[in-house]
A = this chain, B = another copy of it.
Amino acid sequence: METAIAFASVGLDRADHIRGDAEALGNLMNWRARLLKLDGIDPQIAPDGGLDWGTLADADPEAELVFLGLMGDGPSASRPCFAQVAPSLIGSVAPPNPRLWAAMGMLSPTDLAIYGGARSLVDWHARHRFCARCGHATKLAKGGWQRSCTNTACNAEHFPRVDPVTIMTVECDGEMLLGRQPRFPPRRYSALAGFVEPGESLEGAVKREVLEEAGITARSVQYVASQPWPFPSSLMIGCHAYTDDKTITIDETELDDARWFTREEVCYAMTGAEDGAFIAPPPFAVAHHLLKWWLEQ
């Protein structure tokens, strides 16, 4: 199941040991190195339908470069891969757009994983130019897996951020609780979701979100699947839970609606049908896999 989830495949050998070795990293920045071609922060698709790659000569001379990892097997056969933090991206926030979704639909699981990781990392650099501790400028370090404060009285080290998010289906009497956010397309329902907060376990976060958003007391939380979600950098942690009381009280600031759906309704919606009780979450989303997992139980 793991490999079928968008962005969740293993893209490159991340070659962690090289990041902190300035000499080894410098040696990799040669004519064999590949530069991920980006349109702003969106992917560029090659004629063969895969990610488009150039060489380091294609990089903006002003751009910071992040080391994504090694592609291919064996020390002599593997090729170092980089992406650039283009000056035009600095400080900007780029939400996903329809053109992006279309481009992503063409990519293989491996390419999607490479792109997702690169997008999160480049976006983080573009929006973390300054030290949150002292306000001075930061500079890229360790091949792009760190930024370091340039103020010698501070020297704080900052690391790329990953935000854990719980996303959960809830079951009672063979039916499933799903909700719809105001931003969803018409008739789309999906799993409830929310960020894990400081001081919470995964199970605690699931129970809090379900109670906050739908007024439902959840129990017996179980983990199902996870997905890195590069908008901008979440770790989606998919869970399934149970409840003994189906009474819904929605939080109207978060949800338009929340409802119970029968197994038949979920099954029909998951065929891609748009004339059923609701429209299912798209295959890109880990919510899609939560519904699929439930139908297979």
Q: Which residues of A contact B (CB under 8 A)?
A: 2, 5, 7-11, 14, 16-17, 91, 113-114, 116-118, 120-121, 124, 127-137, 145, 156, 158-164, 195-204, 207-208, 212, 223, 226-228, 230, 233, 235, 237, 251, 253
Contacts and interface: CB of A to CB of B under 8 A. Distances in A.
B116 A199 contact: yes
Contacts of A201: 2, 5, 7-8, 226-228, 235
30 contacts: A7-B201, A8-B203, A11-B199, A14-B208, A91-B134, A113-B199, A116-B199, A117-B198, A117-B200, A121-B199, A124-B198, A128-B132, A130-B131, A132-B158, A135-B136, A145-B197, A159-B163, A159-B195, A160-B198, A162-B164, A196-B235, A199-B228, A200-B228, A200-B235, A201-B226, A201-B227, A201-B228, A202-B226, A202-B237, A204-B228
A251 B124 CA distance: 28
Given A10-B208, A130-B130, A162-B197, 11 more contacts: A91-B133, A114-B199, A116-B199, A117-B197, A129-B132, A135-B137, A145-B197, A162-B164, A162-B195, A162-B196, A196-B235
A251 B17 contact: yes
Contacts of A226: 201-203
Nearest to A131: B130
- Pairs of residues from A and B, 5 with the lowest C-beta to C-beta distance, nearest first: A117-B199, A130-B135, A120-B198, A223-B223, A202-B226
